[in-house]
Amino acid sequence: MVIGLFLVLCGLFLWVFKGPYNVFDYGFADLGNFFLLAPWIFLFLIPAITMKSFSEEKKLGTLELLLIKPLTVWQLVLGKFFGNLVLTLIALVPTLLYVYTISQLGTITGNLDMGLVIGSYFGIFFLAACYTAIGLFASTLSENQIVSFILAVFICFLLYYGFEALSTLISSGDTAIFIQNLGMKAHFESVARGVIDSADLIYFLSLALFFLFLAVVQLKTNNSR
């Protein structure tokens, strides 16, 4: 259902609804609008996927059963993480049809910057991994799925756009750029330009591991009570 909702929303905004994201109104044969839109849709859909990962287990009392299995807490968290991440990636696979469609719509058929497209898909992948880790952490904080969903959306929004919004309030250019680079949006846009920098990779990897670590700590804390 979540995959279907993602594809329907993307399809409506890109091909049907009139507005800044509409491919035909945009006038250029590229996927820039899709990669501007996808992070905001994922901001809600990935927390919807992850919200019951541990919240439901805690509510039903099955989390204790998982914790007594011959698995470490890290293995349990990583299993949930990769399961949710793969589901998100499956949602992206049908969007490859957009690549073919846009390449056919150009004045010169096939005149599409594939380096930019591949870089943008890598950026979406890294962003989805961070959103998934944040969603898992949020699901360890409450037995209520809705509370977990809201917390995940808030944290994802704060880390994706919050720092950029904060940087606009700073008059000093260097300080503003430093604050902006603390957010995911700046690093996503950097990767989406088709240049995969090691600094961006380290940022996304560190952020995902940090929230996975917080999820492990939270589960261990709950188990020791």
Each residue's pLDDT tens digit, 187-199: 988 888 777 788 8
**Per-residue confidence (pLDDT) for residue 111, from 0 to 100:** 61
Please check whether residue 21 is in contact with residue 13, taking contact to mean a CB–CB distance below 8 angstroms.
yes
Res 64 pLDDT > 80? no
pLDDT for position 222: 72
The structural domains of the chain, with segments of one domain joined by +, span: 38-223
Do 14 and 34 form a contact (C-beta atoms < 8 A)? yes
The residue with tokens 């409506």 is 12
What is the rounded average pLDDT for all residues in the chain?
Answer: 85
Mind listing the pLDDT tens digit for each residue in 80-112?
A: 999 999 998 998 888 888 888 877 776 666 567
Give the model confidence (pLDDT) of 11-51 as tens digits: 888 878 887 777 777 666 677 778 888 888 899 999 999 99
